[in-house]
Amino acid sequence: MQRTPRVSIFTTPHDVARTLARRVAAALRENPRMVLGLPTGRTPLLFYEELVRLHADQDVDFSQATTFNLDEFVGLTAGHAGSYRTFMRRFLFEHVNIDPARTHFLDGAAADLADECERYEDSIAAAGGIDLQILGIGTNGHIGFNEPGPELDARTHKVTLRPETRSSNAALFGGDPASVPTHALSMGMGTILHARTAVLLATGETKAKCVERVVRGPITTTLPASLLQLHPDAELMLDEAAAQELDAPS
């Protein structure tokens, strides 16, 4: 039996981005109504750049696609400069022909956050589930905002962000970790594992140790990304820097 997640190693982060963007473009041609789960962070930026280029050069059509973003900070209104909704608009949605009504986000400013999480799960189900969930990874092994801990919430929920996560998101808040919200809403690991296909992108040597544990280590809630070992169709797309610990003999 093939081991999961599959590991694909590319020379540069650009190669990772180009390959995934081409794959998404082909999948959209095959199924224009595809449902995509999307991440934020620095890692997917090149991938979004490639998608924008493919839309401009090759008419890749997003008009019937549906998207669900993985997570959002609590307390930020939709237009806030640091919100993931703003991030997605700036780096992808403003540059392709996606229908804004088909782009879904958690509302971190909702009056009742538990209701908001339930609404999100219901919308994903109503869309027929996620076809392709694209993921990044935090240096502590989080995916979405599922932080390491003794247990994990299966479904979309409110999370307390760890200091290292607030630091790595500081760029969105003028570089000041103290300005990063203390809480977020995130799809749960169950939500993520229910996507038909999952692709985790990791580039750069800061991710190498974590990647090695995701591929070789035990499945543990202290490394949420390790749960991808349970997914029947999961893949890690790595550049050489992020894959460097995999070359070492175990």
Binder of ligand GLP out of 37, 38, 40, 243 (CB under 6 A)? 40
42 binds ligand GLP (CB under 6 A): yes
Alpha-carbon distance 10 to 8, whole Å?
7
Binder of ligand GLP out of 69, 133, 156, 165 (CB under 6 A)? 165
Please list, in sequence order, all residues whose beta carbon lies within 8 angstroms of the beta carbon of residue 239, skipping any fewer than 6 positions away: 9, 10, 11, 12, 13, 15, 16, 202, 203, 204
Residue showing tokens 């809630």: 221
145 binds ligand GLP (CB under 6 A): yes
Segment interacting with ligand GLP, rule: CB under 6 A, options 26-34, 36-44, 50-58, 115-123 = 36-44
39 binds ligand GLP (CB under 6 A): yes
What backbone torsions phi and psi does residue 214 show, to the nearest 5 degrees?
Answer: -65, -35
71 binds ligand GLP (CB under 6 A): yes
Check whether the bond before 5 is cis (ω within 30° of 0): yes
37 binds ligand GLP (CB under 6 A): no
33 binds ligand GLP (CB under 6 A): no
Min dist CB 246 to ligand GLP, Å, is 18
13 binds ligand GLP (CB under 6 A): no
191 binds ligand GLP (CB under 6 A): no
Rounded to 5 degrees, what angle do the CA atoms 86, 49, 34 make? 80
- Give the footprint of ligand GLP on residues 84-143 (CB under 6 A): 136-138
Segment interacting with ligand GLP, rule: CB under 6 A, options 46-54, 102-110, 124-132, 163-171 = 163-171
Positions of E strands within 91-249: 103-104, 132-135, 157-160, 183-186, 197-202, 234-239
Measured from the CB atom, is 33 or 42 closer to ligand GLP? 42
- Four-residue CA torsion sign, 46, 48, 52, 58: positive
Segment interacting with ligand GLP, rule: CB under 6 A, options 49-57, 92-100, 108-116, 161-169 = 161-169
For the chain, what's the residue count? 250
Alpha-carbon distance 92 to 130, whole Å?
19
Measured from the CB atom, is 66 or 168 closer to ligand GLP? 168
Helix (H) or strand (E) holding 115: helix 113-126
The answer to whether residues 120 and 197 touch, using CB atoms and an 8 Å cutoff, is: no
Measured from the CB atom, is 38 or 65 closer to ligand GLP? 38
Positions marked active-site = 71, 140, 142, 147
Size of residue set near ligand GLP by CB under 6 A: 15
Chain contacts with ligand GLP (rule: CB under 6 A): 39-43, 70-71, 136-138, 144-145, 165, 168-169
